[in-house]
A = this chain, B = another copy of it.
Amino acid sequence: MKKAIFSTEISLLRRTIQRLLRRKANTNLTKILYKTHPADVALLMRGFGGVEQKNIFNLCPSFSHKAKVLEELDETLIENMLLDESSTNISKMFLYLDTNDQAAIISMFSEEKQKEILEKIEAEDLEDIEEIMAYPDDSAGSVMTKETFTLNQNTTIKESIKQLQAVPENDKIFYVYVLDDQEKLVGVISLRSLVTSHNAQRLKDIMITDIHAATSETDQEEVAKTVAQYNYLALPVVNSQNKFLGIVTIDDVVDIIREEASEDFLQMAGVGKDRDILLKSPLENARSRAPWIFASLIGGICAAAIIGYFNHLLQEMIVLASFIPVIIGIGGNIGTQSSTIIVRGLATGRVDVGNTLPLITKEIIVGGILGTIYGILVGVASEFITGTELENLGMVIGLSIACSMTIATAVGASVPLILKKLNFDPAISTGPFVTTAIDILGVALYFIIASLILI
- Measuring CB to CB, which residues of chain A are less than 8 angstroms from any residue of chain B? 1-4, 6-7, 11, 14, 37, 39-40, 43, 46-47, 72, 74, 161, 164-165, 169, 171, 173-174, 188, 190-196, 208, 210-212, 222, 225-231, 233, 250-251, 253-255, 257-258, 261-262, 264-266, 268-271, 277-278, 282-283, 285-286, 289-290, 292-294, 296-297, 299-301, 303-305, 307-308, 311, 314-315, 318-319, 321-330, 332-334, 336-337, 340-341, 343-345, 348-352, 354-355, 359, 362, 365-366, 369-370, 373-374, 377-378, 381-382, 385-386, 405, 431-432, 435-436, 439, 443
Is there an interface contact between B382 and A304, defined as CB atoms closer than 8 Å?
Answer: yes
**Taking CB as reference atom, which chain B residue is nearest A361?**
B282
Is there an interface contact between B1 and A210, defined as CB atoms closer than 8 Å?
Answer: yes
Closest 7 pairs (CB-CB, A-B): A300-B326, A269-B340, A261-B261, A321-B321, A303-B325, A282-B365, A304-B322
Describe A's contact surface by its main secondary structure. Answer: helix
Is there an interface contact between B325 and A324, defined as CB atoms closer than 8 Å?
Answer: yes
- Inter-chain pairs besides A3-B212, A304-B323, A332-B332, 4 sampled, C-beta below 8 Å: A191-B195, A228-B258, A262-B344, A329-B439
Is there an interface contact between B4 and A297, defined as CB atoms closer than 8 Å?
Answer: no
**Taking CB as reference atom, which chain B residue is nearest A188?**
B1
Residue of A296, A299, A349, A374 contacting most chain B CB atoms (<10 Å): A296
CB A438 to nearest CB in B, in angstroms, measures 9
- Contact partner of A329 (CB less than 8 A), chosen from B278, B323, B385, B436, is B436
Is there an interface contact between B289 and A366, defined as CB atoms closer than 8 Å?
Answer: yes
Contacts of A345 in B (CB 8 A): 278
CB A72 to nearest CB in B, in angstroms, measures 8
CA distance A345 to B278 in the complex (A): 8
CA distance A326 to B306 in the complex (A): 12
Contacts of A307 in B (CB 8 A): 321-322, 324-325
Is there an interface contact between A292 and B333, defined as CB atoms closer than 8 Å?
Answer: yes
Is there an interface contact between B250 and A251, defined as CB atoms closer than 8 Å?
Answer: yes
Is there an interface contact between A340 and B266, defined as CB atoms closer than 8 Å?
Answer: yes
Is there an interface contact between B333 and A222, defined as CB atoms closer than 8 Å?
Answer: no
Is there an interface contact between A47 and B196, defined as CB atoms closer than 8 Å?
Answer: no
Is there an interface contact between B283 and A369, defined as CB atoms closer than 8 Å?
Answer: yes
CA distance A333 to B335 in the complex (A): 14
- Contact partner of A6 (CB less than 8 A), chosen from B226, B257, B265, B290, is B226
CB A234 to nearest CB in B, in angstroms, measures 11
Q: Known contacts A212-B4, A343-B265, A362-B282: does B349 contact A43 (CB below 8 Å)? A: yes
Is there an interface contact between A251 and B231, defined as CB atoms closer than 8 Å?
Answer: yes
Is there an interface contact between B319 and A318, defined as CB atoms closer than 8 Å?
Answer: no
**Taking CB as reference atom, which chain B residue is nearest A345?**
B278
CA distance A72 to B362 in the complex (A): 25
A-B contact pairs, 21 of them (CB 8 A): A1-B208, A1-B212, A3-B212, A171-B231, A191-B191, A254-B254, A257-B261, A268-B340, A278-B345, A283-B369, A286-B369, A289-B366, A292-B337, A296-B333, A299-B325, A301-B326, A304-B325, A307-B324, A307-B325, A333-B431, A336-B432
CB A452 to nearest CB in B, in angstroms, measures 19
CA distance A212 to B39 in the complex (A): 13
CB A349 to nearest CB in B, in angstroms, measures 6
CB A194 to nearest CB in B, in angstroms, measures 8
CA distance A200 to B440 in the complex (A): 78
Q: Known contacts A7-B222, A300-B329, A351-B278: does B271 contact A341 (CB below 8 Å)? A: yes
Is there an interface contact between A164 and B297, defined as CB atoms closer than 8 Å?
Answer: no
Is there an interface contact between A385 and B305, defined as CB atoms closer than 8 Å?
Answer: yes
Is there an interface contact between B169 and A192, defined as CB atoms closer than 8 Å?
Answer: yes
**Taking CB as reference atom, which chain B residue is nearest A374?**
B297
Contacts of A327 in B (CB 8 A): 300
CA distance A40 to B278 in the complex (A): 38
Is there an interface contact between B257 and A254, defined as CB atoms closer than 8 Å?
Answer: yes
- Contact partner of A350 (CB less than 8 A), chosen from B278, B286, B328, is B278
